[in-house]
Structure 1
Amino acid sequence: MTTAPPGLLDRALGAFYGLALGDALGMPTQVMSREDVVRVYGTLTGFEPARDDNPVSAGMPAGAVTDDTDQAVIVARLLVEGGGHVDPLRFAAELLSWEREMKAKGSFDLLGPSTKAALDAVAGGTDPKEAGRYGTTNGAAMRVTPVGIAFAADPLPHFLDRVVESCQVTHDTNIGIAGAAVVAAAVSTGVAGGTLDEAFDAAITAAEAGARRGNWIAGADISARIAWARELVEGLDEAAALDRIVALIGTSVASQESVPAAFAVLALTGGDPWRSTLLAANLGGDSDTIGAIAGAVAGSVSGLSGLPADAVRTLRTVNGLELEPLAAQLLTHR
């Protein structure tokens, strides 16, 4: 195996651990309203355990990651084992196995709506290549970071082929693919040494192209909404910007909301990984996924060296995360 240049590996690890950072910070506030986040936490300033009344993350300790990180690790492992390809049937089996394990542990943090519907269809005999034809939520976007680590975003058609493979079984729609293409292209650009502005530009371009793939479902244009999100928060203080993101962009599991919301947070912080992921956690809604996306992109630009070392230690300790071998193996495809 060829050893990746130190800077490239640092940025790849920044993306992977940045995803986990945003996921863990947003874990306790997911499915909470912005108003409830403010009422309960004031301003979230670090890792917190989930409250017992949280219907998704109840019982999870401070620093614990959710399905966003778990599924990204599955994608990474399948890419490595598949020589750079994700086999849809194998992917479906891995996701179903993951959910069985989570249920056995008594977890409420299970598969999202599009993924669950698609995998139920596969279990009922539907061809995995057809199961994702209605999936439009952000499940593909939240787990696609390993594709961005593994492959250069140029040439874009080849890159999108790899993105589509990671989407197909659950999110084979113009919206699902566009949302995943945004994250993968931004991460890939950061890993290659690009700036945040260059990551934004790559994301917008990839979303336009990704929206021409998959089964067409009516919905807002993700590319246009990312460009708009950057302008929407310009000149605002953080509290006002978060309120505007909630009111105008939205923080639901819809790809057209959560993906642009993550990029609005990135624009607000200038791509600072810690600030970006913290602000995402303070949004509420699908805060773990918004944080995971923002953290992956910010981390790809800053590198692991740009993430707080104590926070990374917490992620490793609480979750048993050791992402270095996977990241290094992913980079062999560049």
Structure 2
Amino acid sequence: MREHAYASLVGTAVGDALGEGLYLRDNAVRRRLPAAPWRWTDDTEMACSVFRVLDTHGRADPEALAASFVAHHDVDRGYGAGIDAMMREVSRGGDLRALAMSAFGGTGSWGNGAAMRVAPLGAWFAGDPLRAAAEAAVSAAVTHTHPEGVAGAVAVAVAAAVPPGHMFAEVLRHTPPGEVRAGISKAAALAATPEEAATELGTGGRVSAPDTVPLALWVIARHPHDYEEAVWEVAALAEDVDTLCAIVGGVIATRVGQEGIPAGWRRSVEPLPGWLMP
């Protein structure tokens, strides 16, 4: 449980940091590694909070998650404008969870932020997709209350919680109806080249769960035990490169462990934050 979740966290960080370094898509297409050290982004910072809360509470305690997100928010890590604005309101006395509910005119965010950080949670509840889905929904709603934002987190968590051969079936079983689920259903049936899949499923350009999660799962299904190949493939397709690489890396690392991540890549990434471990 904890070991798989920590491996997933490392996989998330490596994918995130490599994707952030591949700021020119041509570098991903040509598979040219950026110069080390690779710096991770908000994807990893928030995933660290998810792991820390699970490690401390054994569940996705929403109050603890909100407190950790606030305490460790670093504006220089590339957060989206929405979460940065909420954090400014929190600094003036606002409540993060209430702000999340009122965002975007009360609809909440359908961004990919809840999905990008949740693979370690799925790994924590490996073998129990029902629990993974429920806990993912709780973790998402701290910042993303729109049903699609929640659905993206549920789908990624379940993908990390189940064996590769059952991934699409279990994800579709537990992801609520909507655009995210429709995209995943399309991904499950899609026989296409990577470029065609990106056109069909989305590349993260809208920074939304519906145009991020289906492509991530399609790539994971193609390379269920090959961390390096999966991350390179999705990096060459993505617009939101760090987030797609973080999701793909986090799910596959659950299966292959830290040893399945190229050693040189692990050495190239900056250390995880000192506050991560209790």
Into which bin does the TM-score normalised by the smaller protein fall? Answer: 0.7 to 0.9
Is the counterpart of residue 177 in structure 1 residue 170 in structure 2?
Answer: no
Q: In the alignment, is the contact (CA less than 8 A) between 2:9 and 2:51 conserved in 1?
A: no
Instruction: Say whether 1:296 aligns with 2:214.
Output: no
Do structure 1's residue 139 and structure 2's residue 113 form an aligned pair? Answer: yes
Deviations 1:141-200 (A, max 9, x none): 1111232122246372x44332233122210221111100111111122xxxx2x22223
In the alignment of these two chains, the number of paired residues is 269
**Contact between 2:62 and 2:142, CA under 8 Å: does it hold in 1?**
no
One-letter amino acid of the counterpart of residue 276, structure 1: A
Paired amino acid for 1:257: D
CA apart distance, 1:42: 6.8
TM-score with structure 1 length normalisation? 0.70
Q: Answer yes or no: is the 8 Å Cα contact 1:24–1:62 preserved in 2.
A: no
Cα RMSD for the two superposed structures: 2.9
| Contact 1:249 1:260 (8 Å CA) reproduced | yes
Matched, 1:76 2:27: no
Q: Distance in 1 between matches of 2:263 and 2:224?
A: 20
Counterpart of 1:47?
33
* 1:321 lines up with 2:272 in the alignment: yes
**Quick check: 90-99 or 281-290, which moved more?**
90-99
SS of the residue 2:211 aligns to: helix
Give 1:71 shift. 1.1
Q: C-alpha distance in 2, partners of 1:269/1:154?
A: 22
* Higher Cα Rg, which structure: 1
Q: Map 1:91-240 onto structure 2 (within 5 A).
A: 91-99=65-73, 102-103=74-75, 107=76, 109-123=77-91, 125-133=93-101, 134-152=108-126, 154=128, 156=130, 158-189=131-162, 194=163, 196-208=164-176, 221-232=179-190, 234=191, 236=193
8 Å contact kept, 1:114–1:171? no
Partner of 2:99, secondary structure, is coil
Verify the 8 A CA contact 1:140 1:171 in the aligned structure 2.
yes
Change (3 A) 1:297 1:200: farther
Residues 1:255 and 2:241 aligned together: no
Distance 2:100 2:28 in 1: 39
| TM-score, normalisation: structure 2 | 0.83
Equivalent residue for 1:214? Answer: none
Following superposition, the deviation at residue 259 of structure 1 comes to 0.9
For residues 301 and 70 of structure 1, the distance between their equivalents in structure 2, rounded to whole angstroms, comes to: 22
